[in-house]
Amino acid sequence: MTDFKGAAQSWSLVAFFSVVTLTLLLCVVTGPDRDDLDEFYTGYRFLSPLRNGLAIAGDYISAATVLTVGGIIALCGYDGVVLALSTLLSLLLLMFLLAEPLHHTGRFTMGDVLARRMPGRAVRITACAVTLAALVPMMVVQLAGVGQLLAYVLGFSDSTMRTACVVGAGALMITYAALGGMRGTALIQILKTVILLGSGLVVAALILHTFGWSPPTLFRTAARNSGAGHNYLRYGLQFAGGRHPALDMVSTQCAIVLGGASLPHVTMRMYTAGSTRQVRRAMSWAVSAVALFIAVMTVVAVGATALIGAKTITAADPRGSTAYLLGARAAFGTDLSRPESLLFTTVTTAIFLTLLASVASMTLACANSLAHDIAARPDTPPLREMALARLSALAVGIPVIGLAVLAQHRSLQPLAILSFCLGASAIAPALLYSLFWRRYTRAGLLATLIGGTVSVLVLLPGTGLVSGTPQSAFPDADFNWFPFTTTALVSVPAGFLCGLVATVLSRRRSGARARNRYEAIEPVLLAGPAYPKNG
């Protein structure tokens, strides 16, 4: 019931190739056609709020979310649902707190927003370094996931084939980012969100239909088949082996809520909207789309446990990353008719597209930051800066492919957690402080970015995700000294505190200047630029 043989497999292969061809075509056709920086970096703000919202949702629902969170919901029940909810809350907070100020003050990258407040090369270089540090691990997770997914769906177990898949997907991601720019990747994201939501809704409806449209029956059956009984419906399964399960759970939620939406590939979509109202409306669509997807994912993942049992899910993958696919497959029953196998192929294609699209957006965010914040000078001609951005996509992409090939046989969870923790401990405090605190100084900003990053990088290797347990990335070694799974409980306060202390210490020297500068940009920050951004 859970194997992908025969028709489904060949359908999937055909679908994957058509998706690759179609998306490449989209990128070439819609890519920037003039030597205009605005067009490459923001796609001329051409998207209507609905489309922009779908693109934001597409950026936000990365493959790590679908596969990892889907697996945790299927295996741990309640804990996974809470994790999915904190993902949604993160986007909601981005909409309420940061979306409009970011749109008003930013131009292309996070470096632009920070440098608006504190101009200087040091700020831009640090911003770019933190962007890379936060996104590269996430890209490695997604790319290594491509290998796993294709190996699973297409049914090969050969290690060389897997590596070839990773390299091929990596080459595709560089092409998308370099050819398509912001507009090309936005279209791919829209396509992906629509396919993912559409196919997911059908599967969720089928699963609910199986259980008589009664969620309580669904959850009770899942609890019975999960092997954990009533514990499936209460907190504690995910961190059962930890030393402090309660604090561990709070720490993880904290990292997701603060870090999820402040990652640069999500915030960069704020700059592509035309006006304040458009950015607000786009975020409304994005939050609605993500909320819908979380509902779908919960039903499909819980349905997977209810229909085939937790044992089958862990047999396919110990962390349950294939739970979403297994749930979709089980929803169609044992024998697939032709329309059913077509529908199931749509689900696998949606996941494949999710992997490709999210990694392409992250490459674009890294490349933009490298080109715009570090390589280009104020007097660099636009044509040259665009060439630099395309070269940067290559410069980021190739090491990422190498890392993904190295990491594909290890646990990828620490890398994903590293990204979220960096977002929560360095990027979120820096953005919040510099947009809302008028006394914040440049020393404070640098201290926040560097202090937050360093605290995560120091603490994370000591967690149980990296070593010491059978599920960790290095199961043979044991240098596990940090008692929690994620570092957020310590590193988020550290990031905020570094900024606070450095600002207080440097206030005498540069406090008045910082305040004047904030007052100068405050009208733009609150009300937006005096005329709509071009577009």
Residues that bind another protein (CB under 8 A): 38, 78, 81-82, 85-86, 88-89, 92-93, 95-97, 107, 112, 115-116, 119-121, 124, 214-216, 219-220, 230, 233-236, 246, 249-250, 253, 257, 276-277, 280-281, 283-284, 287-288, 291, 294-295, 298, 376-378, 516-517, 519-524, 526-531, 534
Q: Greatest CA separation found in the chain?
A: 74
Nearer to another protein, 85 or 473 (CB): 85
Segments in 211-275 forming alpha helices (H): 215-225, 245-259, 264-267
What's the angle, vertex CA 55, arms to CA 68 and CA 452, rounded to 5?
Answer: 55
Shortest distance (Å) from residue 418 CB to another protein: 23
d(CA 265, CA 360): 10
Nearer to another protein, 387 or 501 (CB): 387
| Tally of CA atoms within 13 A in the half-sphere of 532 that contains its CB | 13
Question: Which residues, including other chains, have CB under 8 Å from residue 14's CB and lie 6 or more apart?
Answer: none
Shortest distance (Å) from residue 446 CB to another protein: 14
Nearer to another protein, 235 or 474 (CB): 235
Nearer to another protein, 318 or 523 (CB): 523
Nearer to another protein, 59 or 112 (CB): 112
Cβ(144)–Cβ(408) below 8 Å: yes
Look at residue 239 and give its three-state secondary structure: coil
Nearer to another protein, 146 or 432 (CB): 432
Pair of tokens at residue 501:
């202390």
Shortest distance (Å) from residue 170 CB to another protein: 31
Nearer to another protein, 63 or 123 (CB): 123
Pair of tokens at residue 304:
């997977």
Shortest distance (Å) from residue 92 CB to another protein: 5
Place of tokens 């990053």: 453
Nearer to another protein, 93 or 501 (CB): 93
d(CA 308, CA 330): 7
Nearer to another protein, 59 or 385 (CB): 385
Shortest distance (Å) from residue 316 CB to another protein: 26
Shortest distance (Å) from residue 176 CB to another protein: 26
Provide the 10 A C-beta neighbour count for residue 203: 25
Phi, psi of 211 (to 5 degrees): -100, 25
Cβ(95)–Cβ(359) below 8 Å: no
Shortest distance (Å) from residue 90 CB to another protein: 10
Cβ(121)–Cβ(442) below 8 Å: no
Q: Angle at which helices 215-225 and 181-210 pack, to 10 degrees?
A: 90
Shortest distance (Å) from residue 120 CB to another protein: 5
d(CA 435, CA 455): 23
Nearer to another protein, 280 or 384 (CB): 280
d(CA 105, CA 184): 24
Nearer to another protein, 246 or 315 (CB): 246
Shortest distance (Å) from residue 380 CB to another protein: 9
Shortest distance (Å) from residue 268 CB to another protein: 16
d(CA 181, CA 525): 27
Shortest distance (Å) from residue 277 CB to another protein: 7
Of 436, 425, 507, 434, the residue nearest 460 (C-alpha): 425
Shortest distance (Å) from residue 292 CB to another protein: 8
Nearer to another protein, 94 or 133 (CB): 94
Give, in order, the Cα–Cα distances in Å from 13 to each of 151, 189, 497: 11, 21, 51
Give, in order, the Cα–Cα distances in Å from 348 to each of 150, 210, 329, 441, 519: 9, 21, 10, 49, 52
d(CA 425, CA 535): 35
Give, in order, the Cα–Cα distances in Å from 441 to each of 44, 310, 429, 432, 498: 33, 52, 13, 13, 12
